[in-house]
Amino acid sequence: MSVTAWLELIVSGLITGGIYALVALGLNLQYGLMRILNIAHGEFLMVGAYLTWLVQTQFGVSPLLMVPVAFIVLMALGVVVHFLCFRRLTATSPNLDIFEARGLMVAFGLMFLVQNFVSWVWGGDLRGYDYLTEPVKMGEVQFAANKLLLFLLALLFAGALIVLMRLTLLGKGVRALMQSPIGAQLMGIDTKKLHPLMFGIGLGLSGIAGALLSMAYTITPYMGQPYTVTALIVITLGGFGSMGGALFGGLLLGVIEALGMHYTNPSLKALLSYAVFITVLLLRPEGLFTRKSRKA
Amino acid sequence: MTSRQLLIRDILVLLAFAGWALALPHYASEFVTAMALTCLMYIALSSSWGLFCGSTRYLSLATSAFFGVGAYTTAILLGTFGWVETIALGAGIALLLAVVMGAAVLHLRGTYFAVLTFGMTELILHAVTYFEKSVTGTVGRVLTVVPDNSVIYLTVLALAVLAVAVSIWVRRTRFGLALMGIGADEQRAQTLGVNSRLVKIAGFALTAAFAGAVGAAMAVRWTYIDPHTVFNPFIGFQTVLITLIGGVLTLWGPLLAAIIFSVLAESLRLQFPQIYLMSLGLMLILCVLYLPGGLASLRWTTFKQWWYETRDWAKDVKRELSGEKEHDKQRQRRREKESYFV
C-alpha cells in the first residue's frame, strides 16, 4: 500500500474520530460529573441534526450559522430536562448506586420519547442537503470539503471544552466536583447551579455534533443510537470522567475502525468496535490512559 | 399473613391466572389470543428477569441475546429434534452462554454491568449476522416445520407459569435470600458466608434459561428469522421496562405490567407505533421518578402522599408569588442585624 493510501485511510479515520470525540466529551461530562449515563445522548445529537436540516431547507440559513444555535437550543433543552427529571431523582435517591440505575432508566425513557417524537413528526425517511460537497486537493490526497470542515470544527469545540475545564474557575469547580463531590460542596461549590449547567453543556455539545454531522451525512430519526454506543466505547477507552482521554480515545477509535475496515471488511465495523469495547472494559475498566486505579 | 398463608395465596392466584389463560383460546377471538400470547411471553421474560436482576440489582440488558440464541436454536434444530427437546436445548444453550458471560462480567457492578451486557448482545448480534452472511450465505432462515398455534400457546403458557412458580419458590429458599442479600450489600453478604460469585452466576443462568426457552418457543411464530428481529435489543429493553414499571421486587408487578403493556401495544402499535413508544418512554420516566417501587407498590397512601406533595408545592409557589417569602427573608435579615447590635 502506498503512502498516499495510508494517509487517506488514517485521515478518514481521524475525521470520523473527531465526531466520536465530540459526542463522547458531552456524554463524559454528564457521567463524570453527575453519574448520569445518558443513553439518550445520541438522540439529542439527532435533534441537533434535524434542527439544522429544518432551518437550512426551510429558510436557507447556512448550516455553519446553525452550529451555535443548535448549541444554545440543546443546552436550554438540557437544563429543562435536568430540572424536570434529574433534580427530583437526586433528591429522592438514597445512594449513588441507586441514583445511577434510576438515571439510566430515565435516560432510556428519554431515548424512546425523543426518538419517536422526531420520527412521528418528520417520518422515518432519510433526509439531507448539500453543503460544500466539492473535494479539496492536498498534495495527492483529496477529501470532501464538508468532512474536513467537520473535523476541524469538531476538534475546535472539543479543544474549547478542554480549555474551559482546564483554565477557568468554572472548569476548576467541575473538576473538583468530579474528584470529590462532598469536598467540593464543602468548599462552597454550588451543585444546584453547576449540575444543570453542565448537563446542558453536555447536550449542547451533542447538538453541535448533530449540526456538524448533518452537513456531511444523511440523517434519520434512528441515527442517534450508534453514536451513543460509540461514545460509550470511547469514554471506556479514555476512562470515565477524563476529558483528554475522551478526545484521544475518539480519534483512536476512528483510526482503529478505518484500519480494521480496510483490512477485513466493512460489515465487520460494528463487530470490531464492540470487540474493542468489551476487551477494554474487561481488562482495563478504568480506561486505557488513566494511571491511578479506580475500582469499577 | 403468615408466610404459609402468603404461599397459599400466591399459588391460588397463579392457578387462577393459569386456568383463565388456558381457557382463553377456546372462547376469545384470534386477535385476543395473539395478544395473550405476547402477554404470556413478556410475563415469562419479565418474571424471570426480576428473579435475578430485581433482587440483586444487577441491571442486565442481555435478555435479547438469550432470546435470540433460543430462537436460532429452534431455527437450526427443529427439523432434527422434537418440539420439547428443541426448547430444552434452546434453554440449555442460553444457560451455557450465560454461565460463560456471567463468569466474565458479573464482577462488574452498576452501570458497567448494564453497558457491558448491552455491548455483548450487540456483539453476538453482529457476529451472527456476519457468520450467516459469510459462511451460510443467507441473511435469515425460513422455518418450514411449524407446530400448531395451540401448541405454541400452551408451551409459552407453561413457561410463563413455570417462571412465576420458580420465582415464588426461589423467594422462599436460601438461594433467594442470598440473591436479596447481594442486592442489599454484596460485601456484607460475602462476609456472612454467601458465595456471591457462584450465586450470581447461577441466578444469571436461570434467567437466561427462561429467556432462551421463550425465544425457542416464540421463534416459530415468525416463520422467517433474521438476526435483527430475534436479537432486537428492544426485547431486552421492554422486559426491563415491564419489570421496572410493575415493580422489580414484587411477584405480581411484572405480570400486571405485562398485561397492561400487551394491551397497550396491540391496540396502539399498528396505527400509531411512535405514540406507543413515546408513551412507553414517558411511563418509564414517570414511574422511575414518582413510583420507584413499581405499579405493584401502589397503595392508597401513595395517592395521599402525591396529594400532600402537590399541595405543599402549590403553597410554596403561592407564597413565592405573593411576595411573602421575600418579606420573610427581609424580616429575618433585620432580626439578625438587631441581634448583632445587642
pLDDT tens for B200-252 read 999 999 999 999 999 999 888 877 888 888 888 888 888 888 888 888 778 88
What is d(CA B249, CA B294) in angstroms, rounded to the nearest whole number?
9
CA-based nearest residue in chain B for residue A279: B116
Chain B interface includes A97 (CB < 8 A): yes
What domain count does chain A have? 1
- Residue B33 phi/psi, 5° resolution? -65, -40
Provide the ipTM: 0.82
Domain that holds residue A156: 3-23+40-229
Is B130 in contact with A116 (Cβ distance < 8 A)?
no
Is A108 in contact with B237 (Cβ distance < 8 A)?
yes
Q: Of A13-17, B157-161, B178-182, B273-277, give the lowest mean pLDDT range.
A: B273-277
Task: Spell out the residues 6+ positions from residue B34 whose beta carbon is closer than 8 angstroms to its own.
Answer: B266
Count, in order, helices (H) and strands (E) of chain A. 12, 2
- Which value, to the nearest 10 degrees, does the dihedral of the CA atoms of residues B266, B269, B271, B275 take? 130
pLDDT tens digits, A125-175 = 778 777 766 777 766 667 777 888 888 888 898 888 888 888 888 888 888
Is A116 in contact with B105 (Cβ distance < 8 A)?
no
Query: Is B156 in contact with B37 (CB distance < 8 Å)?
Result: yes
A-contacting residues of B 224-243, CB under 8 Å? 237, 240-241
Q: List beta partners, residue A33.
A: none
- Does residue A296 form part of some domain? no
Q: What is the CATH class of B3-297? A: mainly alpha
pLDDT at site A294: 46
**Residue range B261-285: average pLDDT?**
82
Residue in B114, B123, B244 closest to A278 by CB: B123
To the nearest whole angstrom, how far is the Cα of B322 from the nearest Cα of chain A? 23
Query: Structural domain boundaries of chain B?
Result: 3-297, 301-341
Residue in A88, A117, A274 closest to B123 by CB: A274
- Does residue A186 form part of some domain? yes
Output the pTM of the full model: 0.82
B-contacting residues of A 229-248, CB under 8 Å? 229, 232-233, 236
What is d(CA A275, CA A271) in angstroms, rounded to the nearest whole number?
6
- Does residue A49 form part of some domain? yes
Confidence of residue A295 (pLDDT cuts 50, 70, 90): very low
The answer to whether residue A266 scores a pLDDT higher than 90 is no
What is d(CA B88, CA B327) in angstroms, rounded to the nearest whole number?
73
